[in-house]
């Protein structure tokens, strides 16, 4: 699959359109795990923009429009202030930039916790406005009724247990979860409750490895780990963390590149060339036709 296509700004579609391909579907993702076994691990990355989606899409099964965009894109202190408008707009951009992956959009804090009906209204709005096909929400047993309500009304739901960043004010920070037995049992129970309620996949975040393994074995649907274990049925990372956009990242992140240095070194070179008038050169300057 080519990743070299660019956005046609008149249609907002990729141009040229890549060779015809069928977008993956939620049932196909769900059925990757059969009788407790996932032969082909599920690949998910976050995406927030159309161009980013274009570049990631051919390599992923799922693109997650995560509410981590609050910190990564908007410089907010946590995901708590993220709004429905932000999620809908970024999700629409990611859908426009992708052809292959299932696009999942995070429900922001405050958009779903109060009742299943409120969750349905928020989820329906996100799917209608963006074209994404599934939502993700945080929380375990307490959210099971909501997950069942949405799934039985046509909205696929990805769960999220363990470290749930929207609950930072209750948890008191972003430390790994499940270090004591009671917490471990709760996290595995949460995963089980979401699975029974019909979640098609569950993100397991920031837990000690034995819990990730226990949760993965306890549920029929795939688990997708982040700071969890290689034994999960798939993995997700925040793309900017993976690319090395930030100096400080959690221990579980593997920085595949140092994109921060590329950007800052390039800006330094550009600034120098503007100041010494070596940019723009002949090559970047229009002249009248002779």
By beta carbon distance, the residue nearest ligand KIV is: 66
Query: What b/e readout covers 30-45, taking b as 16+ CB neighbours within 10 angstroms?
Result: bebbeeeebeeebbbb
CA 94/CA 53 separation, integer angstroms: 5
Nearest distance from residue 208's CB to ligand KIV, in Å? Answer: 17
26 or 64, CB closer to ligand KIV? 64
Interacting residues with ligand KIV between 14 and 33 (CB under 6 A)? none
Minimum Å gap between C-beta 44 and ligand KIV is: 8
Residue 175 CB, shortest distance to ligand KIV, in Å, is 15
- Residues 90-109: x/- map of binding to ligand KIV (CB under 6 A)? ----------------x---
CB of 119 to ligand KIV, least distance (A): 17
Rounded distance between C-alpha atoms, residue 216 and residue 221, angstroms:
8
Report 157-216 residues binding ligand KIV (CB under 6 A): 203, 205
Coil, strand or helix: which one is 92? helix
Q: Which helix (H) or strand (E) holds 30?
A: helix 26-30
Closer Cβ to ligand KIV, 62 or 193, answer by number: 62
User: For the CA atoms of the chain, what is the radius of gyration?
Assistant: 21
| Smallest separation, CB 112 to ligand KIV (Å) | 14
DSSP symbols for 239-276: HHHHHT-SS---TT------HHHHHHHHHHHHHHHHHT
Closest CB to ligand KIV among residues 66, 222: 66
Size of the site for ligand KIV (CB under 6 A): 11
Both tokens of 73, joined, read 């894109």
Q: How far is the CB of 108 from ligand KIV (least distance, A)?
A: 10
Three-class SS state of 128: helix
What residues are labeled active site? Answer: 205
Closer of 198 and 225 to ligand KIV (Cβ): 225
Give residues with Cβ within 8 angstroms of 69, minimum separation 6.
46, 48, 82, 86, 87, 90
Q: Which is nearer to ligand KIV, 190 or 205 (CB)?
A: 205
**Integer angstrom CA distances of residue 261 from 46, 69, 242, 244:** 21, 21, 14, 9
Specify the residue, 46 or 130, whose C-beta has the smaller distance to ligand KIV.
46
Cα angle value 85/55/204 (rounded, 5°): 65
Using CA atoms, how far apart are residues 203 and 171, in angstroms rounded to an integer? 18
Query: Binders of ligand KIV among 31-90, rule CB under 6 A?
Result: 46, 64, 66-68
Q: Which 216-245 positions form the footprint of ligand KIV (CB under 6 A)?
A: 226, 236, 238
Looking only at residues 118 through 157 of this chain, which bind ligand KIV when binding is defined by CB under 6 A? none
Query: Cα dist. 108→70, 78, 105, 119 in Å?
Result: 10, 11, 9, 10
Chain contacts with ligand KIV (rule: CB under 6 A): 46, 64, 66-68, 106, 203, 205, 226, 236, 238
């Amino acid at each position: 699959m080519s990743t070299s296509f660019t956005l046609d700004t008149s249609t907002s579609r990729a141009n040229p359109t890549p060779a015809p391909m069928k977008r993956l579907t939620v049932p196909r993702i769900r059925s990757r795990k059969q009788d407790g076994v996932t032969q082909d691990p599920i690949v998910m990355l976050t995406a927030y923009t159309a161009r980013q989606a274009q570049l990631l899409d051919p390599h992923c099964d799922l693109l997650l429009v995560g509410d981590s965009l609050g910190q990564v894109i908007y410089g907010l202190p946590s995901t708590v202030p993220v709004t429905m408008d932000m999620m809908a707009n970024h999700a629409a951009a990611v859908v426009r930039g992708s052809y292959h992956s299932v696009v999942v959009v995070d429900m922001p804090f405050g958009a779903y916790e109060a009742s299943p009906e409120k969750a349905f209204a928020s989820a329906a709005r996100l799917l209608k406005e963006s074209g994404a096909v599934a939502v993700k929400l945080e929380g375990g047993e307490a959210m099971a009724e909501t997950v069942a309500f949405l799934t039985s009304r046509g909205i696929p739901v990805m769960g999220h247990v363990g470290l749930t960043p929207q609950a930072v004010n209750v948890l008191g920070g972003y430390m790994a979860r499940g270090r004591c037995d009671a917490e471990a049992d709760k996290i595995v129970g949460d995963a089980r409750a979401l699975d029974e309620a019909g979640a098609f996949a569950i993100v397991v975040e920031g837990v000690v490895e034995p819990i990730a393994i226990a949760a993965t074995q306890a549920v029929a649907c795939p688990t997708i780990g982040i700071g969890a274990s290689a034994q999960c049925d798939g993995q997700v990372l925040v793309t900017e963390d993976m690319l090395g956009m930030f100096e400080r990242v959690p221990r579980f992140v593997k920085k595949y590149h140092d994109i921060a240095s590329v950007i800052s070194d390039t800006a330094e070179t550009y600034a120098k060339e503007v100041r010494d008038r070596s940019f723009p050169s002949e090559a970047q300057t229009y002249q009248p036709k002779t």
